[in-house]
Amino acid sequence: MHIHLTRRGVLAEQIYRQVLDAILDGRLRPGERLPPTRALAARLTVSRNTVSVAYDRLLADGVTSGRVGAGTFVTNAPLPPSGTARRAPAGAVQPREFWRSVPVLPMRRHGDVAFDFSPGTPDHALFPLTAWRRIVAGELRTSAASYATYGDPAGHGGLRAAIARHVGVSRAVRADADDVVVTQGAQQAFDLIGRVLITPGTVVAVENPGYPRVRLLYRSLGARVVGVPVDEEGLVVEAIPDRARLVYVTPSHQFPLGTTMSLRRRAALLDWAERRGAVVVEADYDTEFRFGGRPLDPLQSLDRTGRVLYVGSFSKVLLPGLRVGFLVAPASLQPALHAARQLTDWHGELTTQAALARFIHSGLLARHIRGVTREYALRYARVVEGLKQRCARWLVPVPSAAGMHLAATLAPGATVDLAHAVARAGAAGVAVRRLADFSFGAPVVDGLVLGYGAIAGPRIDEGLSRLAAALAAVER
């Protein structure tokens, strides 16, 4: 408890007022014990009698109670609110104009929505919590000396090795432990790349439609972000501006459309990057869940000049709250990326990283992915069939072979107000996103994006029925 005494005024009065304010403001909560009079007097360098006078007044006011041999405690009785609550000043300092337009995404707990088709949300019920809890407990039993110093900014060595092996086996990524930087989710990986490569005015090309948080992040760093259209083969390479020096793509499972970049386009993009002296940021966020089609090699494994940075995440595979992602970078960028990580938050939470390394090495991650993939494949098929049965008049599903969401574009000739449909569906307990929300500038294509990670299979049919009713109600 902080008390500041001045030379002006009665000392007992100052102690009384400041303790009373702390109680009424809620800084001292009901049941909390006040410091003993002798200890507080010694800390404030005043007589014990001065403190006792202040405590007696608090007792007389009924805001504290005393127990013989136990001390003085804040009363549990209801107290009137303080009219002098201490709050930080509103402040005259304002952020840059850019930040006035960046929304903070609302936080929603699982179960807040009855029929949750939000994209990007995994099913927490499928997470192997018992095994994870056992591994974390084992890590916490290690000596405190393991955490007595700051860690490597590139991340836990065991996890870096585990990630290199995991992505090498599952996705043909060419990397060893030294090529991996462990991050707090994919977003921090994108941020580190931007800090190392982007200067004010740098032209950055992003997919359109695409992931808005990357576009906003690079704009915040001073980049001039340009949207590039996406078709059934992926990013249209011919449409990338000549001045672009960084290109962000999701070739394995385009977000949000769900298409796969063709091998022809992959080769064209790598050739373009080499000719222009540009770098390609390849985001692979959920293709562990592949249930159809033949996977193509990632851009990183096709790259022969060290221009591709490969970003992955465990937020979809495990849980977003674990905050673990990774970045595979060419050797030429690794020292700068390590320095940037050290300057921002030094390194991530080492207990979680060590536990995840054991989780991967033990085979539990591979087993978990196999089980979840089977479940998501069933949900995907159920959503597609449900859309065909209930919503074919308005929506056409975009074929997808992986992930945990699908897009459905507006059917030819459909006359429906999707913005109102999404709002009406929300009022009926159905959470769904509009495809136009992911567009940069004027929407290139419109429709809906439906995730099936957060909604259990048996609830899909009823959720789609409610969505169909919302679409029918706003049909023009």
Domain ranges in the chain are 11-74, 115-121+367-473, 127-363
Least confident of 92-101, 117-126, 362-371: 92-101
What pLDDT, on a 0 to 100 scale, did the predictor assign at position 292? Answer: 80
What pLDDT, on a 0 to 100 scale, did the predictor assign at position 87? Answer: 62
Cβ neighbours of residue 156 under 8 Å, at least 6 residues apart?
Answer: 182, 350, 353, 354, 357
Cβ neighbours of residue 406 under 8 Å, at least 6 residues apart?
Answer: 258, 380, 383, 384, 397, 398, 400, 449, 450, 452
- Kindly indicate the confidence band of residue 392, based on its pLDDT and cuts at 50, 70 and 90: very high
Q: Is the pLDDT of residue 209 over 80?
A: yes
What pLDDT, on a 0 to 100 scale, did the predictor assign at position 148? Answer: 80
Residues 22 and 29: their CA atoms lie apart, in Å, by: 9
Would you say how long the chain is, in residues? Answer: 476
Per-residue pLDDT tens over the stretch 15-31: 999 999 898 888 899 98
What pLDDT, on a 0 to 100 scale, did the predictor assign at position 294? Answer: 78
What pLDDT, on a 0 to 100 scale, did the predictor assign at position 178? Answer: 97
| Contact by Cβ (8 Å): 366, 128 | no
Q: Is the pLDDT of residue 406 over 60?
A: yes
Q: Is the pLDDT of residue 8 over 80?
A: no
To the question of domain 127-363 being in CATH 1.20.1090.10, the answer is: no
What pLDDT, on a 0 to 100 scale, did the predictor assign at position 88? Answer: 64
What pLDDT, on a 0 to 100 scale, did the predictor assign at position 448? Answer: 97
Tokens of 39: 């200890």
Mean per-residue pLDDT for 168-195? 96
Q: Is the pLDDT of residue 168 over 80?
A: yes
What pLDDT, on a 0 to 100 scale, did the predictor assign at position 82? Answer: 54
Per-residue pLDDT tens over the stretch 409-436: 999 989 899 999 999 999 999 999 999 9
Q: Is the pLDDT of residue 77 over 90?
A: no
Residues 381 and 468: their CA atoms lie apart, in Å, by: 18
Q: Is the pLDDT of residue 118 over 90?
A: yes
CATH class of 11-74: mainly alpha
Mean per-residue pLDDT for 90-107? 85
Fold of 115-121+367-473: Aspartate Aminotransferase, domain 1 (3.90.1150)
Nearest residue to 128 via CA among 351, 323, 353, 360:
360
